[in-house]
A and B are shown apart, each in its own frame.
Chain A
């Protein structure tokens, strides 16, 4: 039902035609990473290595989604800044909270 005027696709953006493929490729990549993560938890490596690996992999997924699916890569940097203010503060708060609850003084009473 597209009106004829709008069928002419913009040519000033080189990325436009290829986005479809980029999206599909990224989705595949994300699926693969998820698969790797699931396998990783059963691997016989040291716990810290796996944890680090998982965190890195999730971060990679996270970044792919926000920069590609959510267009940050192609948008004005201000959007990225805006979102990262929230992300960094939330991350910092989470870190601080977990740290506060990990210290000895915060252990709950033994039951």
Chain B
């Protein structure tokens, strides 16, 4: 945190106008208060990443327990219920608490830098998203720490098919936690996504036209659209489920005429776009890394962008491919099967263009590049098993078998996680000013790569050999023993790989040597600024002349220098760099939401016992939230101005610049 907090900050600040106490704006630039009140997109992004990685380790630990249980037939490392909790929480954690926020971390840190902005459009809303995400994460996980008969961790599977989630079959509050937690995560994601959309559309530096945006920014934009358009569906589904559980409505209640199949539709209307929410940022990252290390622009930029958009759009038209076995009728099944196959085309286009990018380049085999190449290979395999699923009759044999588990881990780990790990390595020098050792980076890559394939490749065979998923045990005579054993060993190797990866990252963060500016000889704007990035990002808002803006600048030095000097003058005349004030109220509002949600999840459909504290808790939380939001709106979106002196060092106020 150090590296971030102590960024190169030499400036004179204007003091804030006098204000009543509650509207006083926090000014801490380090320490706990700073982290709680920060509106700096880089710090918020860092926190997102930090929490996400913690949850990734938690989810990974759960996965290792799952694999340990399945190592041998009929083992009893876990009880049935523990196992069911484990995979439910593993899926939920990995998807909502690890990969999505890790994506959000990159959106936050990198996207504004790539478009030449000083912050996101709504800095406090950004903080609110972060803290609401934390509230959701707490609620989803809180059940682990409560007695498991009446509370407990969720155990209805990550897509919580009704009616297994109804009060009748799942009376414990575990399911209420799951519902409420997901609800909050949805709110957080939508708020963040709206922010990113406005930022990308409206905060671009001059000259940064839409068709000059780095592909990662494009993918951020498309992902954000997917979020705001798909999350409402699950929000409604969860509201309906909550109403069923707390107020006795009949949405999924068969005795009242409800149709549980409706849940599946609503869930997957969200769920399929969700998987593209997980993969598109990854594709964006890879589309940044490959050109950089091939020393060539991305091959077929417009087509890559367009294919991303069409993947996003088509993603809304294929949800029922998760429901091929629910008896939709032949026509509907056929329609969804064909629509699903169509997605192979835009996805293929991306793969081809990545290969085109490599073609004729000078490939530098650095760690990020290794992960990016690994991504292409692994994602291709995952995509192909996806295509096998899309052939609906064949899927009747594969659905809910380990073949699906293999498919989605290839796209999720081999896809999303590989690319995210690549991204961490790639942008680490920028964010922290330190570089991870190539040796340890590559070693971790190989261990992860081998561990991953050893874990999940055999699972294809398990699935085709009839092993159902979500089973805590199996008989020894089914022909599944060897594959399960290998898979478990693989997962340990994978775990060791991950361990190496993260230990090395943390080590570098603490002890690594400082490195210079623009280590990779990058192509996009984020590399044009010092590392770690100063609070204000850009001394002068850059003017963009070409697609790989920084590359262009590097090759047109004089022209740019002249231009920048002019801009700097203009900006100084305008009062200097405008920076938003920090604020505690987003945190207060989210905290209120957390309290209220805990209260609400504790309601029973027959609210007699303990109704007072539950109601009290909910109301208190509601009031805290309201106060937070109200004061937030009252304090206004003001800020202060920074005046950088000419060379951005040796300012009048702080005579001694820190040595680097």
* A99 / chain B contacts, CB cutoff of 8 Å: 332
Asked whether any CB of chain A lies closer than 8 Å to the CB of B234, the reply is no
Q: Are B328 and A105 in contact (CB under 8 A)?
A: yes
A106 to B327, CA, bound (A): 8
* A97 / chain B contacts, CB cutoff of 8 Å: 265, 269
Q: Are B261 and A106 in contact (CB under 8 A)?
A: yes
Q: Are B259 and A105 in contact (CB under 8 A)?
A: no
Looking at the complex, which one of B225, B228, B329 makes contact with A104 (CB distance below 8 Å)? B329
Q: Are A100 and B265 in contact (CB under 8 A)?
A: yes
Which residue of A has the minimal Cβ distance to B266? A97
A103 to B332, CA, bound (A): 9
Q: Are A108 and B329 in contact (CB under 8 A)?
A: no
Which residue of A has the minimal Cβ distance to B197? A82
Number of A residues near B (Cβ < 8 Å) is: 17
Q: Are A89 and B265 in contact (CB under 8 A)?
A: no
Least Cβ distance of A46 to chain B in Å?
28
A31 to B320, CA, bound (A): 41
Asked whether any CB of chain B lies closer than 8 Å to the CB of A77, the reply is no
A80-111 vs B, Cβ < 8 Å mask (1 yes, 0 no): 00000110010011001101110111101001
Q: Are A103 and B201 in contact (CB under 8 A)?
A: no
* B225 / chain A contacts, CB cutoff of 8 Å: 85
Given contacts A85-B225, A86-B229, A100-B320, A93 and B332 within 8 Å (CB-CB): no
Asked whether any CB of chain B lies closer than 8 Å to the CB of A78, the reply is yes
* A89 / chain B contacts, CB cutoff of 8 Å: 229, 316
B325-357 vs A, Cβ < 8 Å mask (1 yes, 0 no): 001110110000000000000000000000000
Interface of B is mostly: helix
Looking at the complex, which one of A93, A103, A104, A105 makes contact with B269 (CB distance below 8 Å)? A93
Which residue of B has the minimal Cβ distance to A97? B265
List which B252-268 residues lie within 8 A (CB) of chain A.
257, 259, 261-262, 265
Given contacts A89-B316, A93-B316, A108-B257, A100 and B229 within 8 Å (CB-CB): no
* A85 / chain B contacts, CB cutoff of 8 Å: 225, 229
Q: Are B320 and A103 in contact (CB under 8 A)?
A: no
* A78 / chain B contacts, CB cutoff of 8 Å: 201
Q: Are B229 and A103 in contact (CB under 8 A)?
A: no
* B261 / chain A contacts, CB cutoff of 8 Å: 106
List which B161-178 residues lie within 8 A (CB) of chain A.
none
* B233 / chain A contacts, CB cutoff of 8 Å: 93
Looking at the complex, which one of A92, A103, A105 makes contact with B316 (CB distance below 8 Å)? A92
A97 to B332, CA, bound (A): 11
A96 to B318, CA, bound (A): 11
Instruction: Enumerate the 5 nearest inter-chain pairs by beta-carbon distance, A residue then B residue, closest first.
Output: A105-B329, A103-B329, A89-B229, A105-B327, A89-B316
List residues of chain B with CB under 8 Å of any chain A CB. 201, 225, 228-229, 233, 257, 259, 261-262, 265, 269, 316-317, 320, 327-329, 331-332
Other 10 A-B pairs with CB < 8 A, given A100-B265, A100-B320, A105-B328: A85-B229, A86-B229, A89-B316, A97-B269, A99-B332, A101-B262, A103-B329, A103-B332, A106-B261, A111-B257
